[in-house]
Amino acid sequence: MLNVHAFPEAFSPSECDAIIALAREGELKDAGLVKNRSDHNLRRADLGWLDERAGGDWIMERIMHLVAEANRAHFDFALTEFGESPQVARYGAERQGHFTWHSDIGEGALASRRKLTMVVQLSDPRAYRGGALELQPDANIRVSDRTKGSAVLFPSFVLHRVTPVHEGERYSLSTWVHGPAFR
Ligand SMILES: O=C(O)CCC(=O)C(=O)O
Ligand SMILES: [Fe+2]
C-alpha cells in the first residue's frame, strides 16, 4: 500500500527506553511555545531534539536504513536529506496532551520540503489511554499500531493527529525526510 507503510518492529523495547532516556537528559520544551507559537489547542506536548544530545547516532542510522528500503520498495520519492533533528514528543494526561489534525508540510525552508514522515511509538501501550496516532490518507481513517517500537512512514502531506491522552503518558519519535518539490 503506497500511502502508509508500517514497520512492526523498527526498534526493540529496550532501544525505545534508551531513546526516551536520551531525550530526557535535557529539558523537554513546551511544543506550544516553540517557534514563537503559543497555540495549545493545536498541540499540547513537550519536545526534545536528539541532535542536541550526544550519543544518538545509532538512532538516525536505523531510521535512515529503514526509510531507504521502504522508499525504494513503496514510495520511490526523490529524497535528498534528513534535514531536521529527530524529535521526541511527550504527551501527558496532566494536560490532555494531543496534536490536532495537520499535515507536516508547512512554511519555511525545511518544513516546505518535507516529503516523508516517520513516527515511532516509544511507549508501552499499557502506559497510557487515548493518544492514538490516526492517519487519513483517503476517506478512511487508519489508527496506527500502538506496539512499542513499531513505526509508520507516510507522505508528509497526509493528514494525521494524536488524540488526547487521558491517562498516563505517551512518547513518540518523529523524523522527516526532505527533497525537491513533488512533481
Ligand atoms: O506523536 C505523534 O505520534 C505524531 C507527531 C507528529 O505528528 C509531528 O510531530 O508532526
Ligand atoms: Fe505530524
pLDDT by 10s per residue, the chain, length 183: 578 999 999 999 999 999 999 999 999 999 876 655 556 778 999 999 998 899 999 999 999 999 999 999 999 999 999 999 999 999 999 999 999 999 999 888 999 999 999 999 999 999 999 999 999 999 999 999 999 999 999 999 999 999 999 999 999 999 999 999 988
Is 172's C-beta closer than 6 angstroms to any atom of ligand 1?
A: yes
Helix, strand, or coil here: 135? Answer: strand
Q: What is the ipTM of this complex?
A: 0.99
Is 144's C-beta closer than 6 angstroms to any atom of ligand 1?
A: no
* Nearest atom in ligand 1 to 172's CA: 1
d(CA 35, CA 76): 32
d(CA 144, CA 51): 26
Q: What is the CATH number of domain 5-178?
A: 2.60.120.620
Judged by its nearest atom, the ligand closest to the C-alpha of residue 119 is 1
Enter the pTM of the model: 0.96
Is 163's C-beta closer than 6 angstroms to any atom of ligand 1?
A: no
Is 99's C-beta closer than 6 angstroms to any atom of ligand 1?
A: yes
